């Protein structure tokens, strides 16, 4: 059936599906292997293109996406410009996302294990923890948003909207407004929503390809867009369907200030899904084929474009009606849509955010924490660590203002992930040409040991790039506004020669080839793919 086996009979290559399977386990490698991290058997790789499209549907049409698209107006960009930048940013991040996803689909392994090929079997813990902490931060933000929607429903049904109105009259019109209006109810609901998420995650085991998560995404996806359409229809109707007025909102910035805002907004949009660009192997390890994961992910930028159009137009209409760019859709639906529509729309926001929090912010970080001590930390125990870190980090405090959301959150972590992803993509696509020894990612003395389990090229690259992006050096604001793009490019330019001229000759002499002729691949792996 188109299968070939390597000389040690440990790895099977299914040529028809383009996928590899590891036939042995390594329980003796207590710091590198457990059953949740083991490559998914090919017969359990069942996720089709629709599953990935549904996942992205549920992740794209969420409150933070709407908010980010609308934030451009708060920073002085015009409506058309904000929409274009959102689309461009998501189109850019799709490229490393597809490349990274290839490794998950081909080898059946999650991101932390795949990262061992680039950072070393022990060094991979470092970038995975960066990803995990950022993901945990997003988990906290999304849980906060779910709570906001739930308490918005409470305010409508209990007739307590005047409490919110009094705060808005004082100029408090942000994602913090509802929590400030009902603090006791809000934080009690926050705890309850945490518990509900844990119940779902507990009943979705990794070895069974996480069926609860897959079907939750499929069922929730068709409902999510309805909330945004309802919000858009409502505000466009009360503004008289004045498309001209909305799209005539032009940038209030000029010269260097305009371009700084433009670049910052672009990099923030790239950083928005940069965690997923790193995390997608956690999902594509269950893919039927490369075609399934690629076709399912290509619609993502167009989904985000749709959100950008709806969000920017609605915020523009609100801006024309009230004089303020209120970019929090939950506050808008709670206060301006009427009781019935407000409850329904907030319920849809709650469902959508629940779906994305499970997929985007829990699955991947849980793998990362499990990878730290695989013998002792299962995937679900990793989930518990994610929740604890999310609560301690309190990243929702950045979400309350447009400036905090863009600069203090997205751009701050964007440079870190840009550097990590630069190393990963240049290593996998350019240096190795998508081929490596699968069994060795679980071997402490294998081919990815490098120097004591650490790839020095990756760490040197990360240190240099991080200094350039974040150190208070000349032109710091310009560098920071380009955090992800600059970090990604610089990482590739530094990492590649370090690998070619130092690390490969010294630590991986079994790799043969060159950058210009098929990359660096061992004879054994080359033969496995050739047969």
The domains found in the chain, sorted by start residue, are 28-399 (1.10.4160.10)
Query: What is the predicted pLDDT for the residue at 359?
Result: 67
Question: What secondary structure does DSSP assign to 319-356, as a single string?
Answer: HHHHSS----HHHHHHHHS-HHHHHHHHHHHHHHHHHH
Query: What is the predicted pLDDT for the residue at 204?
Result: 64
Contacts of 135 (CB under 8 A, 6+ apart): 275, 279, 360, 361, 362, 364, 365, 368, 386
Per-residue tokens: 281:
């192997």
**What 3-state class would DSSP assign to 460?**
helix
d(CA 65, CA 88): 14
Query: What is the predicted pLDDT for the residue at 94?
Result: 97
Query: What is the predicted pLDDT for the residue at 368?
Result: 80
Question: What secondary structure does DSSP assign to 281-326, as a single string?
Answer: HHHHTTBS-HHHHHHHHTTHHHHHHHHHHHHHHHHHHHHHHHSS--
- Paired strand residues for 171: none
Per-residue confidence of the chain (531 residues) as pLDDT tens digits? 466 555 457 889 988 899 999 999 898 888 888 887 899 999 999 999 988 998 888 788 888 888 888 888 878 888 888 899 999 999 999 999 999 999 999 999 999 899 999 999 999 999 988 988 998 999 999 999 999 999 999 999 999 999 999 998 888 888 899 999 999 999 999 999 999 888 877 776 554 545 556 666 566 666 777 888 999 999 888 877 666 666 777 777 778 888 888 999 999 999 999 988 998 998 899 999 999 999 999 999 999 999 999 988 888 888 777 777 788 899 999 999 999 999 999 998 888 788 778 766 787 788 788 878 777 888 788 889 999 999 999 999 998 888 889 888 999 999 999 999 999 999 999 999 999 999 999 999 999 999 999 999 999 999 999 999 998 877 778 888 899 999 999 999 999 999 999 999 999 999 999 998 889 999 889 888 876
- CB of 264 within 8 A of CB of 412? no
| CA nearest to 197, candidates 382, 377, 392, 387 | 387
């Amino acid at each position: 059936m188109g299968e070939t086996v390597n000389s040690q009979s440990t790895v099977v290559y299914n040529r028809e599906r383009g996928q590899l399977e590891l036939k042995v386990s390594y329980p003796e490698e207590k710091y590198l292997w457990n059953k949740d991290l083991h490559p998914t058997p090919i017969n359990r790789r069942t996720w089709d293109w629709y599953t990935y499209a549904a996942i992205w549907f549920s992740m794209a049409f969420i409150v933070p996406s709407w908010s980010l698209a609308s934030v451009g107006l708060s920073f002085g960009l015009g409506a058309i410009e904000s929409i274009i930048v959102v689309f461009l940013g998501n189109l850019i991040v799709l490229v490393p996302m597809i490349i990274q996803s290839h490794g998950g689909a081909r080898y059946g392994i999650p991101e932390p294990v795949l990262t061992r090929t680039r950072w070393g079997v022990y060094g991979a813990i470092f970038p995975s923890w960066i990803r995990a902490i950022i993901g945990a931060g997003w988990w906290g933000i999304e849980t906060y948003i779910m709570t906001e929607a739930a308490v918005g429903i409470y305010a409508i049904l209990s007739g307590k909207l005047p409490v919110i109105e009094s705060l808005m009259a004082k100029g408090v019109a942000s994602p913090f407004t509802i929590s400030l209006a009902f603090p006791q109810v809000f934080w009690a609901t926050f705890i309850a929503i945490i518990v509900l998420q844990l119940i779902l995650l507990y009943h979705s085991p990794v070895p069974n390809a996480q069926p609860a998560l897959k079907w939750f995404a499929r069922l929730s996806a068709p409902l999510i867009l309805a909330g945004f359409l309802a919000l858009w229809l409502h505000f466009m109707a009360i503004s008289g369907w004045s498309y001209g007025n909305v799209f005539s909102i032009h940038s209030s910035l000029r010269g260097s200030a305009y371009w700084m805002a433009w670049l910052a907004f672009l990099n923030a949009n790239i950083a928005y899904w940069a965690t997923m660009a790193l995390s997608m192997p956690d999902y594509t390890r269950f893919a039927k084929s490369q075609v399934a994961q690629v076709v399912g992910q290509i619609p993502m930028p167009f989904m985000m474009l749709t959100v950008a159009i709806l969000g920017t137009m609605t915020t523009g209409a609100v801006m024309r009606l009230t004089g303020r760019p209120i970019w929090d859709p939950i506050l808008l639906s709670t206060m301006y849509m009427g009781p019935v529509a407000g409850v329904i729309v907030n319920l849809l926001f709650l469902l959508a955010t629940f779906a994305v929090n499970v997929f985007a912010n829990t699955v991947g970080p849980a793998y990362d924490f499990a990878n730290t001590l695989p013998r002792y930390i299962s995937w679900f125990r990793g989930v518990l660590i994610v929740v604890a870190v999310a609560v301690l980090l309190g990243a929702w405090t950045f979400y309350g203002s447009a400036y905090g959301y863009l600069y203090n959150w997205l751009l701050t972590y964007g440079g870190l992930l840009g550097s990590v992803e630069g190393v990963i993509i240049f290593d996998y696509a350019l240096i190795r040409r998508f081929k490596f020894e699968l069994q060795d990612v679980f071997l402490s003395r294998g081919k990815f040991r490098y120097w004591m389990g650490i790839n020095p090229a990756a760490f040197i690259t990360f240190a240099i790039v991080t200094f350039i992006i974040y150190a208070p050096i000349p032109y710091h604001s310009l560098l920071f506004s380009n955090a992800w793009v600059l970090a990604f490019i610089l990482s590739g330019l530094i990492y590649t020669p370090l690998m070619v001229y130092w690390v490969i000759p010294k630590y991986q002499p079994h790799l043969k080839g060159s950058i210009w002729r098929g990359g660096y691949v061992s004879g054994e792996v080359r033969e496995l793919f050739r047969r």
